[in-house]
Amino acid sequence: MNINRRDFVLSGAAAAFAAAGPKTAFGQAPFDVAQGRPTMLTPRSVKPVVISSSNGNRFKNGGTMTCVEKAFSLITKGSDVLDALVEGVNIVELDPLDTSVGYGGLPNADGVVQLDSSCIHGLKKRAGAVAAIEGVRTPSRVALAVANETDHHLLVGRGAQEFARNMGFTIEDDLNTDTSRARWLEWKRRIDPEHYLDPKKRAERGRQVMLDMVREGLLDENHIYGTINCDGVSPKGEVCGVTTTSGLAWKIPGRVGDSPILGAGLYVDGAVGAAGSTGRGEANLFNLCSFLIVEEMRRGASPKDAGMAALKRIAANTIEKRLLNDKGRPNFGLNFYVLNAKGEHAGVSMYDATYAVCTENGPQTVRTEALYEGKPTE
């Protein structure tokens, strides 16, 4: 058979690319050059892992397992990864002792509990989210139903509640517990002793009262912004994530933070990894950092370095004096939980914090990698 020089060079280049070309997280070339079509990925075995914000290894809702334990157990038994993660965060959503998520979450300025959640299935390329939904203790399950039962990604407010009702969810009149209602009444008493204040003074006073309640032990400083993010990877390398929250304590009714927004409070690419967040949602929304982190990992960054890149961008974009401490640094907390498709993970934070991890060695709460030492107000 005759072959000209051009065909010889092209065939040689194709063979070289196939042998030494870029690899996916699963160790195979993503494109079959000779055939001109994508290859079928056959994942190498991955050590499964589940990571979450620290409350994922704290609350048990009267049971024996925490969120990360439950999710890891289900994943290693063959359950769908996203289903397992939602089962895990349900523990926290239903536990009245956690005032940052689900039932008993701290309410908005009118005393109403409004919840947000999002979820993404990396393998199935599905996503669902709900925002400002009232009356449903487990918004993560409603977000999952949005992903599985609709052609949409985000439902909000009354429409989200009606969808949940139509899907068979129980709708309750009030998700406050005695604790969350008492905290709201105390905040209301302190901020509005004469009924109404000047709007600027009221906003300033509201933040000061919140910080005072933290110092007095009435509020957990980690629960001002609330939230649980939980991400996991299976032995087959299947990556999924879920984020759920009651949002900022005493927020303006209707306020939606980063948690239900794809690319902000959560982002997953099944071939790359997952990232989610807790903390000041407005800072994350402005920078769409979960998407940024996954894209950094796509370019080869480790989970830690990808997360740090996001924190540095947020710090650089925070210029309003009201959002800066005496050192000129952000005066708020923000954490990211990062996992790649190989099972490597990291927790990174603006200031010192912790995150939860569960592997074959069991659940642990470990320190994050912090951009700055200490606390936001120091």
d(CA 378, CA 359): 35
d(CA 162, CA 214): 36
Rounded to the nearest 10°, the torsion over CA 260, 304, 66, 220 is -70
Q: Which two tokens stand for residue 231?
A: 């991400």
Would you name the residues annotated as active-site residues? Answer: 227
In a 3-state reduction of DSSP, which class is residue 346? strand
Place of tokens 């905290």: 183
Order of strands, sheet of 273-279, starting from the edge strand that comes earlier in the sequence: 266-269, 273-279, 334-340, 345-349, 369-370
Place of tokens 């999710």: 71
d(CA 227, CA 78): 27
Q: Which two tokens stand for residue 349?
A: 């934070």
Cβ-proximal residues to 373 (8 Å cutoff; 6+ apart), any chain: 351, 352
